[in-house]
Structure 1
Amino acid sequence: MNSATVRSLLVRGMLAGLGSGVVALIVAYLLGEPRVDSAIAYEDGHAAHDHGDGPSVEVFSRTLQSTAGLATGVLFYGLALGGIAALAYCFALGRVGRFTPRATAALLSGAALVAVYVVPFLKYPANPPSVGDPDTIGQRTTLYFLMMVLSVLLAVAAVIAGRWLAPRLGNWYATVVAVLGFAVLVGIAYAFLPAVNEVPADFPATLLWQFRLAALAIQLTLWASFGLLFGHLAERLLNPKPAAATRETSQEAAAPVH
């Protein structure tokens, strides 16, 4: 793949990431923000009860955080995601099987969703405000990113192992073995990495569950939208419809019937 094609795919990946960020932003605003507001109300209520004062003063208003702040974060995240995923796509295209550009984009998006988000999420799920000790935020962040890096490396290793086993076992059994190996190694990582459980005993279980489902829905929307948008753009770039065939089709459709 030449540098011009890589550059074109990178631009399309960033555009697709920005577009998927817009869709994810809508989901985040409709599903995530109401749960954040509820968690903040819980935190302020406990602060007032424990210390006898009102809610803490915010550097940035909650309205600004839930609108411009949310939009900036999600859109920049989508833009960066699109660029990184496009470069990974350039490497994966033609190396993971004889798939069309659109199918490769869909497979890449699905695998990235699982490796980058779902696997770390199952070990260290997202928590709303007021959940977690502020003194351990550095440790919790480190553990989460460690789990994410391990998941991505194991996913890459599973793809390599599947490609190596395919001539010996066939594509189906090679894929099954690679997926099972990935799952076993992820389970071992789950067992050895320390657990984090800092949810207050009186925190509403329904709110915690709804917040985590909303976080998962945002990521699912982001990656699914990216796979569809980028797959369409990549297909048009790499497999353009011949102009001559298009003209012939148009002329045949316009020709009178005798």
Structure 2
Amino acid sequence: MRTFGSLLVRGLIVGLFAGLLAGTFAYVMGEPRIDSAIAIEEAAGAAHTHDAAGNTVPAEAEEEPLVSRDGQRAGLFLATTLYGVALGGIFAVGFTLLRRRLRTTSDSYAALGLAAAGFVGIVLVPFLKYPPNPPAVGDPETITKRTVTYLLTLVIGLLAVWAGVAAARWAAARLGETPWIRLAVGGAAFLATVVAAYLILPAINEVPGSFPATLLWQFRFASLGTQATLWLLLGFGYAAAVDRRTRVSADAEVAAA
């Protein structure tokens, strides 16, 4: 019999390794883009030390950052690891609560489906509406507004996933168990919820026209890739963990018989 404690421990362990590997991806793919964005910001600051007539104006002394870039790079692994562990624990709790509601006899498929739903609702829906920007991009005065709207899209993403699943089950009960009908109805409910939310939520675009578009999208895709790595490893890792647990339990029952 699978206990919640064993499922939780497996989730924490899988989340730990997923966080470490996601941090590695972010370090390799994201950090060079952050360095480039910071260099652009510093170059723009140096250019502002000249007035309109071309006279040199003394530059204001820049405040030293609280954490150096080396410290930030080291903190990246700590942050992704802690996030992975926390997410793994939450994932295990969600798996335990929702397992019986998922219409599959395979724990592995249930774990993969839950990970896919989490990635779409928590990561992909907010990303498409409010993609992340490098540190040098964005108005500090609007950080509260950007944070609130991002959290709203996260909640809406989860609601959209729930709406899609509920609609697919409704279609199965009313229109039959035909897979393509369930997929079409569920997908339509999901898209309708997301599109309606996108139209209501305000548009936020604070990227200056002078900022290189290639660097901007390289950073954004590195950010998305980090999240995709985390959720992919979490889903497949937890699926393997619960599948192994199932085989061990089955073998123990056979041996006892």
TM over 0.5: yes
Deviation of 1:94 (Å) = 2.9
Q: What amino acid maps onto 2:69 in structure 1? A: R
Identify if the C-alpha distance between structure 1 residues 50 and 5 changes in structure 2 by more than 3 Å, giving closer, same or farther. Answer: same
Q: CA separation in 1, counterparts of 2:223 and 2:68?
A: 22
Deviation of 1:70 (Å) = 0.5
1:233 alignment counterpart: 241
Q: CA separation in 1, counterparts of 2:146 and 2:204?
A: 7
Identify if the C-alpha distance between structure 1 residues 59 and 244 changes in structure 2 by more than 3 Å, giving closer, same or farther. Answer: closer
Deviation of 1:148 (Å) = 0.5
Alignment of 1:42-57 (within 5 A): 42-51=40-49, 52-53=59-60, 56-57=63-64
Deviation of 1:55 (Å) = 5.5
Alignment of 1:207-218 (within 5 A): 207-218=215-226
1:202 pairs with 2:213: no
1:95 alignment counterpart: 101
Deviation of 1:40 (Å) = 0.9
2:55 alignment counterpart: none
Structure 1 gaps of 5+ residues are 247-258
Number of aligned residues = 244
2:23 alignment counterpart: 25
Moved >3 Å (runs of 4+): 53-56, 243-246
Q: CA separation in 2, counterparts of 1:158 and 1:45?
A: 47
Q: CA separation in 1, counterparts of 2:109 and 2:205?
A: 39
Q: CA separation in 1, counterparts of 2:39 and 2:62?
A: 9
Contact 1:43 1:129 in 2 (8 A): no
SS at match of 2:210: coil
Q: For 1:99-141, what per-residue CA distance to the aligned partner results, in whole angstroms no more than 9, with x for missing partners?
A: 4111111111111111100011000001001111000001001
Deviation of 1:83 (Å) = 0.9
Contact 2:164 2:188 in 1 (8 A): no
Q: CA separation in 2, counterparts of 1:82 and 1:220?
A: 14
1:125 alignment counterpart: 131
Q: CA separation in 2, counterparts of 1:13 and 1:160?
A: 26
Deviation of 1:157 (Å) = 2.7
Alignment of 1:4-23 (within 5 A): 5-23=3-21
CA RMSD of superposed structures (Å): 2.0
Q: CA separation in 1, counterparts of 2:192 and 2:167?
A: 14
TM-score, normalization by structure 1: 0.89
Q: CA separation in 2, counterparts of 1:104 and 1:224?
A: 14
1:174 alignment counterpart: 182
Contact 1:47 1:55 in 2 (8 A): no
State the identity %: 43
SS at match of 1:222: helix
Q: For 1:125-174, what per-residue CA distance to the aligned partner results, in whole angstroms no more than 9, with x for missing partners?
A: 01001111000001001000001101102212322232233122233112
Contact 1:96 1:159 in 2 (8 A): no
Q: For 1:170-219, what per-residue CA distance to the aligned partner results, in whole angstroms no more than 9, with x for missing partners?
A: 33112320111111110011011000000011001110010011011101
2:34 to 12, 33, 36: 36
Q: CA separation in 2, counterparts of 1:223 and 1:169?
A: 33
Deviation of 1:7 (Å) = 2.1
2:251 alignment counterpart: 242
Deviation of 1:245 (Å) = 6.2
Structure 2 gaps of 5+ residues are 50-58
